[in-house]
Structure 1
Amino acid sequence: MAAETPVKSPIQRHMLFAVSACVGVFALLVALL
């Protein structure tokens, strides 16, 4: 998913990090519940 285009701009990198963080937190919540 992230290997489609090289991440050059910090905004894209920040968005990618935010999305991955949200997915990780959601997965952690599901695992705990």
Structure 2
Amino acid sequence: MAAETPVKSPIQRHMLFAVSACVGVFALLVALLLHAPL
């Protein structure tokens, strides 16, 4: 999706990094919740 379009502005690059970081953190939290004894 975003990899197809060339990122020219640093703002778009920063937003893309922020989105990927949020997705990674969210996935990490989900994994911790799934492995945690409830």
TM over 0.5: yes
Cα deviation digits, residues 13-33 of structure 1 (max 9, x gap): 0000000000000000000x8
Question: What's the TM-score, normalizing by structure 1?
Answer: 0.84
> Where does structure 1 lack aligned partners over 5 or more consecutive residues?
none
- Rounded to whole Å, the distance in 2 between the matches of 1:12 and 1:26 is 21
Question: Post-superposition shift, 1:3?
Answer: 1.9
Is 19-28 or 1-10 further displaced after alignment? 1-10
Percent identity reads: 100
Runs of 4 or more consecutive aligned structure 1 residues displaced over 3 Å after TM superposition:
none
Q: CA RMSD for the aligned pairs?
A: 1.6
